[in-house]
Structure 1
Amino acid sequence: MEEDTLPIRNLLHSNGDIEWQPLALTLVEYPKGDWIGKFFAFISLSPFGIGAGFVALILFRRDLHTIAFFFGTLVNEVLNIILKHTICESRPLARGHLYNEYGMPSSHAQFVWFFGIYVLYFVLIRLHHINNNSIISALWRVIIVGGCMVLAVLVSIGRVYLHYHTTSQVVIGAIVGFVFATIWFALVHRVFTPLFPQLVSLKFCEMLMIRDTTLIPNVLWFEYTTSRQEARARGRKMAALKPSQ
């Protein structure tokens, strides 16, 4: 029994010599007792929530445009990594003991501004023809775009407030995100979207049930009415098959 516990003891003693490195991707700190800092700390986690939302939408909707949007966020992150290791500008000194990666440009700012500007283009260009005379529809578009812009501003402010980035690092990240969102939306809208009908007809896309909803004006309303009609039709069929009492 004593011999069996020796490897565990040796492992516990050897752990004292290991240098532990925090995962900076998810680690967020704020000054103790600072409620504003705590608020910004929670807000800075929003890119992870957006990423989880993308995964959920792709799994349950399987729409090509959503996939293209998500792929754009991945390319945007790769671009940020390339820029960081090309510019090689350090983070503020307050974060020097926790972070080894560079800070220029801010990945959080670049992500949220890419996301917000892409949503802005999508609403203004792709959704402009949907219920233009509906006040409720117009109000929802304002809420969606306004919410994305407010989120982008709050995340950007929070990264400076919590000393994760300098102001210039956040501003450059926002500019890069804005520019790349413009380029990526133009590519998706002008180049990729015309190819979607051919892509969804491929056997691979049919197996994964990937679809193109570009030509459907209001996808939510279409799915709602279609599912309601199908449920009513199946209900009538089941009622007709029941034996009469």
Structure 2
Amino acid sequence: MKRVTRRKIVSADNGTITFFVGALINEGINLVLKNIIAEPRPVQRGGLYTEYGMPSSHSQMMWFFASYSVLFLIFRLHHISNYVMELLWKVLVAVGLITAAAIVAYSRVYLLYHSWAQVLLGAMVGMLLGCGWFVVVHVLFTPLFPTVASWSVCERLMIRDTSLIPNILWFEYTHARTESRARNRKLTSMKSQ
């Protein structure tokens, strides 16, 4: 009996890749700022820190993520069927993202890892970089996505362009549901034979 092995294939989206690159740039800028400002962490905690605290990298990353995601939610995800429901879930997700970023920022001060100034500067830098990166991606890179996705190396790596799909979440959901139903019908018909 011949054993069939399945390779796990991972595909990526140009938008996801550019978001990841933006997150790496955000972290790099945080390291540069920490070494330029060179402000130590609060001493109340009693521990010795080898890393500077200004700006807070946790706060900066969370606000980068929240601001980029909220802009993505507003400008990139559109579903036409029910405007009121779309608006409601967008508001709920946006509030959730902002709340999560605020909780992380507060927790850094509460746990005495950072001062309020360190956390607030991290939040401001993160928001600026998140908004700026969103503009760069959607003004400069998005028009190039179809061309990049057609390169042979991208086809081999299964890097795709979804920039023309108005709501990628709905698209993925409906296609997965359709495929699952088709496979289920095929399995059922094979069993009945």
TM bracket (short chain): 0.7 to 0.9
Partner of 1:159: 108
Change (3 A) 1:238 1:185: same
Partner of 2:35: 85
Structure 1: which 5+ residue stretches go unaligned? 1-58
Runs of at least 4 residues off by over 3 Å? 227-244
SS at match of 1:97: coil
In structure 1, C-alpha distance between the alignment counterparts of 2:99 and 2:11, rounded to whole Å: 27
* Cα deviation, residue 96, structure 1: 5.7
Q: Provide, for residues 72-104 of structure 1, a one-character-per-residue CA deviation record: whole Å limited to 9, x for no partner.
A: 111101100000001111111124633111011
1:198 corresponds to 2:147: yes
* Cα deviation, residue 71, structure 1: 1.4
* Cα deviation, residue 169, structure 1: 0.7
* Cα deviation, residue 228, structure 1: 3.8
* Cα deviation, residue 70, structure 1: 1.5
Cα root mean square deviation, aligned:
2.3
Tell me the amino acid that sits aligned with residue 32 of structure 2. I
1:107 corresponds to 2:46: no
Normalised by the length of structure 2, the TM-score is: 0.85
Alignment check: 8 A CA contact 1:109 1:152 kept: yes
Change (3 A) 1:95 1:236: closer
User: Equivalent residues in 2 for 1:28-47 (5 A)?
Assistant: none
In structure 1, C-alpha distance between the alignment counterparts of 2:130 and 2:151, rounded to whole Å: 28
SS at match of 1:179: helix
Structure 2: which 5+ residue stretches go unaligned? 1-8
* Cα deviation, residue 208, structure 1: 1.1
Flag the structure with more relative contact order, 1 or 2, with Cα contacts below 8 A and sequence separation at least 6. 2
Normalised by the length of structure 1, the TM-score is: 0.68
Change (3 A) 1:72 1:96: farther
* Cα deviation, residue 225, structure 1: 3.0
* Cα deviation, residue 229, structure 1: 3.6
1:180 corresponds to 2:121: no
Change (3 A) 1:188 1:232: same
Q: Provide, for residues 40-72 of structure 1, a one-character-per-residue CA deviation record: whole Å limited to 9, x for no partner.
A: xxxxxxxxxxxxxxxxxxx85511111111211
Pick the structure with greater CA Rg: 1
* Cα deviation, residue 182, structure 1: 1.5
